[in-house]
Amino acid sequence: MNEKVRWGIVGAGNIAHRFANAVKNAEGAELVAIASRSDEKGSKFAKEHGIEHVYVGYEELAKSVLVDAVYIATPHPQHVSCAKLFLNAKKHVLCEKPICVNAKEAIELSECAKKNGVFLMEAMWTRFLPAIIEAQAMINRGEIGTIKNIQADFCYHYPFDITSRVYNPELAGGGLLDVGVYCLHFASIFLGDYPEKIVAVGEVQDGIDHQVNYILQYKDGSIANLSSAVTVEKPATGYIYGTDGYIEIPNFFGANQLILHKNGETSHIEKPYMGNGFEDEITEVCNCIRLGKLQSDVIPLSKSIKMMEQIDEIRRQIGLQYPFETL
């Protein structure tokens, strides 16, 4: 293949702009195409980011021989159909989080990628941040002892707007899929993917979760206390509590620093990320593709499936099902 991985973007929404800015700075990547259902929106996006090729309709991008990999930036419910379209067209896929809406779809995508022999990864940029990698290293060095508890809250207040995707059940609105997935990934980084028990309570109105609190307990007794919301403001701080101290991570989902609390002392550690933070995950995908790998060791598909299984269980407990689902 070419020296650089040639990227196309699927969808021209807000998150797509962030990816477009990042991919220009990522090692081994080249942004060459944008696909949108709207010619006007796609052309405007291309002009803003200096993209040569504009496709009206995702199918046209899937047919293109000019693109090696795509970033899917569509709303949650469209992830599965878009990913299948490109996987079946032998394109490598980086799909914005969550990888899809439920575990059944995640398994289908995993099987589709394997059948077509192409790369697939969920875009969870948090896992590639230098601050998160440093926290893992500190824990591996035993700096805070044995991990006993994780706390993470990702809650924001979005004013009610019936036209917004946040309040639209047909677009899988609410906080759990939008930001709760960050909390679950954060817990899994430090406690693993296999909690023995999940207990969840939530406020569900008009088909979406307004706020949810969930507790995960693991075989070794460790516990994760997590919450997500679209109607409640909380500091987005992550905590890793050990037997000998704890690590505080402000804005854990996009962390650029850590605070170590140990022996009555506090140490601040700066760990800035490149650009807007998406660069490292893009570089990971490019490296995997050039090596002929079909999955990332950092976020294998099994991990994304486990995340969706946990979300399915939380939704079951709070009574949340989207109108388009047939489970």
| 177 shares a domain with 50 | no
- B/e letters for 103-126, b = 16+ CB within 10 Å, e = fewer, are bbbbbebbebbeebebbbbbbbbb
pLDDT of 1 reads 54
pLDDT of 2 reads 63
The owner of tokens 């486990």 is: 306
Query: Model-level pTM?
Result: 0.96
**CATH classification of the domain holding 15:** 3.40.50.720
Mean pLDDT on 119-132: 98
Angle separating helix axes 301-318 and 181-191, nearest 10 degrees: 120
| 251 shares a domain with 155 | yes
Q: What is the average pLDDT score of the chain? A: 96
| 169 shares a domain with 44 | no
Mean pLDDT on 219-231: 98
| 106 shares a domain with 185 | no
Cα dihedral value 32, 35, 123, 294, nearest 10: -70
pLDDT at 327 over 70: no
Mean pLDDT on 34-38: 94
What is the tally of structural domains in the chain? Answer: 2
pLDDT of 154 reads 98
pLDDT of 27 reads 86
Work out the pLDDT band at 298, boundaries 50, 70, 90.
Answer: very high
Which one-letter amino acid corresponds to residue 264? G
pLDDT tens digits for 66-94? 999 999 999 999 999 999 999 999 999 99
Beta bridge partners of 10: 35, 72
| 225 shares a domain with 209 | yes
| 113 shares a domain with 143 | no
| 313 shares a domain with 168 | yes
What range defines the domain where residue 79 resides? 5-124+278-295
**CATH classification of the domain holding 140:** 3.30.360.10
Tell me if 113 is assigned to some domain: yes
